[in-house]
Every structure is written in C-alpha cells, then in structure tokens.
Structure 1
Amino acid sequence: MDIREMNLKLVMILQEWDPFNIGEEGYDGEIEDVIQSVHDLHHPSDLAKKIQAIYEESFDQWIPLQECTKVSYKLLAVKMDATSQT
C-alpha cells in the first residue's frame, strides 16, 4: 500500500467517525490535520490527544479522550499495515 492509498483509508475512517454528527463532509480541515499527525506520531495516546485538540480547536467542543483513543488505534493500524508492506 502506498502513501496515497493509506491516506484514503485514513480519510474514510475519520469520515465515518463523525464525532459531532454533522456529516462526513464537515471535517475536511480536521481530517487533513489528523492525517498529518498520523504520519508524525506513533503512540496511540499521543495521537488521541492530538486528535482531541484538533477537533476541540475547530468546533469548540470537547470529545472524550477514550473516543479519540479508539480512533487513534484504527488510524495507527492502517499506518502499520502500510509500512509493513513496504
């Protein structure tokens, strides 16, 4: 899997997540920031905190860290799968 394919899978996971129930298309900027964070971070709790901060900054709403952690594990699993195939 190349980086483009990996990024598309990450986008799909984040669109399906829809933490504020505003629809898949309502998070384009946040998704872009989270994907960059997936490339930069390697630990689920670090990524979860970053996800929480990104969404809170944009929407002025707080997401429980546990919810962000669940998503971070899914995202990092895609990253690990992509890097193990190269």
Structure 2
Amino acid sequence: MDLNKMNKNASAIMRHWDPFSIGSELYGREVLEVVAQLEVLDHPSELAKVIQTSYECSFGKWIPLEQCVDISYKLLALKFEAKHII
C-alpha cells in the first residue's frame, strides 16, 4: 500500500468515527490534522493525544483518551501495513 492509499484509508476511518454523534462530515479539519500526524508518529499514545487535542480544540468537548487510543491503533495498523511491517 502506498502513502496516498494509506492516507485515503486513514481518512475514511476517521470520517467514520463520530465521537460526538454530530455527523462525520463535520470533522474535516480534524481528520486532516490526524492523518498528517499519522505520517510522523508511530506510538499509539502519542497519536491518541493528537486526536484528543484536535477534537477538543475544535469542539470544546473532551474525548476519553482510551477512545482515542482505540482509533489510533486502527490508524497505526494501516500505517504499518503500508510500510509492509506486518
């Protein structure tokens, strides 16, 4: 899997995730931020903190870190698959 496909798949995962139940189409900027950080981060906790902070800054609502870690594992699995590490 190449980087473009990984980003596309990661964006799809993030768009499907609707932590505030407001409609996934409202998370455009946050999805872009998370996917950009996915390219440079390799640790689930670090990526989860990016997810948590991005969504909290935009919506003023806190997401439990555990939920962010769950989604970060899915994203990192894509990344490692793209790098053929798995």
Q: Determine if the TM-score, normalized by the shorter chain, exceeds 0.5.
A: yes
Secondary structure at the counterpart of residue 27 of structure 2: helix
CA deviations 1:16-74 (Å, max 9, x no partner) are 11111111211000000000111111100111111100100010100000000000000
Cα RMSD (Å) of the superposition?
Answer: 1.0
> What's the CA shift for 1:3?
1.2
Distance 1:23 1:83 in 2: 31
Alignment of 1:76 onto 2:76: yes
Gapped regions of structure 1 (runs ≥ 5)? none
Q: Which has the higher helix share?
A: 1
Count, aligned residues: 85
The TM-score, its normalising length taken from structure 1, stands at 0.94
Q: Which segments of structure 1 move beyond 6 Å, counting only runs of 4 or more?
A: none
Secondary structure at the counterpart of residue 39 of structure 2: helix
Identity between Structure 1 and Structure 2 (%): 48
Distance 1:40 1:3 in 2: 12
Gapped regions of structure 2 (runs ≥ 5)? none
Structure 2 counterpart of 1:44: 44
Distance 2:44 2:22 in 1: 25
